[in-house]
Structure 1
Amino acid sequence: MKEKILLISAFPPGNETAGQNLTKNLIMRMADKYEIDMIYFTFDNKPNLISLRKNIMRAKEIKINKVLSAFYILIGLMFLINPIFSRRFSIKTCLLLRKMAKENNYKYIIFNFSQVFLYSLFVGKSNSKKIFIIHDVIAQLFSRRKGVINKILYILAIFNEKILFSLNKSNYYFAISEKDRNILYSNYGIDSKVFHVYLESEIMSLKLNRIKIDNMIVLYGAWNRPENMQTLKFFFRHVYPKIVKNNINLKVCVVGGGISKSIYSQYISDENVQIIGFVENPYLYLARAKCLFAPLFGGAGVKVKVIESLACGTPVLGTNITFEGIEFKEGMILIKNSEDAVEKILEITKIVDKNYKINLREKFLSYYADEKYLLDKLIDDLNG
């Protein structure tokens, strides 16, 4: 008989974002060994769980009410809780969690993403070991934001993480990079193991020798995220006009959902700009491109789009924040400003060909695609 686990995830399993993909793959890979119950949170449309039905015993969807969420954020601030920890919180979900933990002899209760870590304090009496999957060190996230309010939120994040981790010290922690692992240890005294994100089967099955490489750059992401939207605006306001002015023969492809109407309406008629939106398999666009344009000016943790692009053999133009936590250095091209970006785009489009991409992909996969760093394997290792 399979042992049971409970997975509490800030995001539903799915294909639309990196967080959804990781959650989906974790479930699919752990289902052979465990019976999985799940609590997940969603703000928007209900995700399609049909393909995962055979992998999940019970799935409890918590659709977040924005008014109620605002209420808990305000209450949380009264108790010095950063909103990132309280936005998904509710007494009703606490009671559900306690009930499920009491009625089931879970081997592990897994908290997937920092946004649900607050619930770890409300499990009640249980013999289950807790597992914390840390994709971002939240204090680092707020340390990069400007303004007095963000300074206060940064202090709250440090305070909250110290309390959460100190009250759960005898449990298990997984960090997305060696850099984050070191931060967790130096700031909070937490020892963690490094995990690698799952690479989708569509990436692993790519045959670059059969794919036509276009004179194209790709911008890729969930465009409803502020840090991604900042990248998109930077490109179209400061980089793309210089490309046009210099008569550079280059196609631009924008992949991912949530793009703003203003960007869409402004560039939809431009014959050199393709606005694709959300697609089930964005990796074909990455594989065909000369580079991924992804300078980021905020955020924390490893950027999954960089991992995916390099695994497709496509170099990435970005900032230090774009590349943090990734020790592999080939194919990661640092840009300083818009003028430098245009120069680097020109350089990279001249040197990137099929052989370049095949070589980059092989080197990156030999570095990153190691089964022993996958979450399900690391969790298996906890069993001794």
Structure 2
Amino acid sequence: MQEDKCIFITPKRETAGGKLVMDRNFDFCKKYFGDNNVYFIEHFINLRKKKQLLSMLAGDFFPIGDLKIILRNLINKENIHYIFIDMSLCGNLIKFIKSNFPEILVICYFHNIEFSYFKSMYNSQKKIVRDIILRSVYKTEKKTVQYSDIIIAMNGRDCNDMTKTYGRSADFQLPTSLNDTFIEEKDVNEKDLSLETINLLFVGSAFFANVEAVKWFIEKVTPKLRIPFSLKIVGKGFENIVFEFLPSNVEIRGFVEDLGPYYKNAHYIVSPIFSGSGMKTKTAEALMYGKSILGTDEAFEGFELNYEKVGRKLNTADGYIDFLNALSCSDLKKYNIYSRNVFLEKYCNSSLYKDFSGNMNKILKKGVL
């Protein structure tokens, strides 16, 4: 008997968080359908701007001409029953699949609601540019919602946003998660008795929401801190960002090969994120390392945890200032066992796979569709 096979399609992921979740989704598909039964296609690589612009003007975010040929050949050659698409901006592709191969079930994972994300990202763009981009994003994502058989969202907010924008919610939720790569040390629960400086850390690549967050924190919070502190900014692209005001105890490191030493040395992760959609993979990463986190509503969006135990939810400059200035050096630790346990229970890949496989079994084998 021939086994069912799956094609996994993804665009090239530029952000570290997006790539980690994409890798997770691909691993889950291989585990669920079988290692040798999943074909990987990374498309929309090195896409010429002129070609994409013409596609946008036509109302489609990505041109799919070459991909149609690849898919036809693969579907006709192999016993393809499922196509997993790792992005919601592939509506024209999904429509093509369902129009030509209606027996194939299309599963789409929404990393966020792209229409909401692009509205935030292009808020300051010229109106004509913004309108062209948002129109193509909306039309393409609407087709994804309309033609996908199974939709997976990251969190409840995205489900509600999807319903409000497109009139359909996700079939189930699968939050961000990571492979557990942290090796706990024997002395992680010891207090930092030699503490002279409170070490703060921001981790994230230099995309618009992170740059906005870092500039806000440096301008609004750091000038009013009375504690001895250092702040390190770590993330690809930050070495190229120009700051008008940069205190001597704020260090821009940009891209680093290994985040481990930076997490290990930090007393608090600061995450004053105000824009975006989906979930923040860096929050899950901080939990994995057992770190205390000072984050906004957006930084914690989709995470089920106790904010008081994990650190604190703070949405204003005064909130950050008051909390940090009240810290006592003698009580600080660099390891938060609560954060670590939340990660292991809810945001570790091995834990999340049970949810993925359980929901897939329920939908595919119990006739929900």
Report the TM-score range of the alignment, normalised by the length of the smaller protein.
0.7 to 0.9
- Find the counterpart in structure 2 of residue 307 from structure 1: 284
CA distance in 2, matches of 1:292, 1:382: 39
Q: Residue 217 of structure 2 aligns to a residue in which SS?
A: helix
2:319 paired residue number: 340
| SS of 2:12 mapped into structure 1 | coil
Cα distance in 2 for residues equivalent to 1:311 and 1:347: 26
Letter in 2 for 1:200: N
Summarize the alignment of residues 117-156 of structure 1 with structure 2, pairs less than 5 Å apart: 117-123=91-97, 124-126=99-101, 127-142=103-118, 144=120, 146=123, 149=127
| Aligned 1:1-384 pairs, distance under 5 A | 3-12=4-13, 17-32=16-31, 33-34=34-35, 35-41=37-43, 62-76=45-59, 81=60, 86=61, 88-123=62-97, 124-126=99-101, 127-142=103-118, 144=120, 146=123, 149=127, 157=137, 160-168=140-148, 171-185=149-163, 187=165, 188-203=167-182, 205-207=183-185, 209-210=187-188, 215-223=198-206, 225-243=207-225, 246=226, 248-263=227-242, 272-330=249-307, 331=310, 333-347=312-326, 350=329, 353-354=332-333, 357-369=336-348, 370-372=351-353, 375=356, 378-379=359-360, 382-384=363-365
Counterpart AA for 1:122? F
| SS in structure 2 at match of 1:354 | coil
Residues 299, 265 of structure 1: CA spacing in aligned structure 2 closer, same or farther, 3 A cutoff?
closer
Q: Which gives a bigger RCO, structure 1 or 2 (Cα 8 Å, sep 6+)? A: 2
Aligned 8 A contact 2:209 2:274 in 1: yes
Question: Any conservation in 2 of the 1:197–1:374 contact (CA below 8 Å)?
Answer: no
Taking the aligned partners of 1:118 and 1:219, their CA distance within structure 2 comes to: 38
Q: TM-score, normalised by structure 2?
A: 0.78
- Compute the displacement of 1:6 (Å): 0.8
* 1:355/1:226 CA distance change after superposition, 3 Å: closer
The 8 Å contact of residues 90 and 144 in structure 2, kept in 1 or not, is answered as no
What are structure 1's unaligned runs of at least 5 residues? Answer: 43-61
Residue pair 2:219, 2:245 contacting (<8 A) in 1 also: no
Equivalent pairs counted in the alignment come to 345
Distance 1:351 1:383 in 2: 55
What is the CA–CA distance in structure 1 between the aligned matches of 2:164 and 2:362, rounded to whole Å?
A: 25
Per-residue displacement from partner, 1:64-103 (whole Å, max 9, x unpaired)?
A: 2233223322333xxxx5xxxx1x4342233333333333
TM-aligned CA distance change 1:110 to 1:255, over 3 Å: same
Structure 2 residue runs of 5 or longer lacking an equivalent are: none
What SS does the aligned partner of 2:238 have? Answer: coil
* Root-mean-square deviation over aligned CA pairs: 3.5
Aligned partner of 1:308: which letter?
Answer: E
Query: Normalization by structure 1: what TM-score?
Result: 0.76
One-letter amino acid of the structure 1 residue matched with residue 69 of structure 2: L
Return closer, same or farther for 1:277/1:153 CA change in 2, 3 Å cut-off. closer
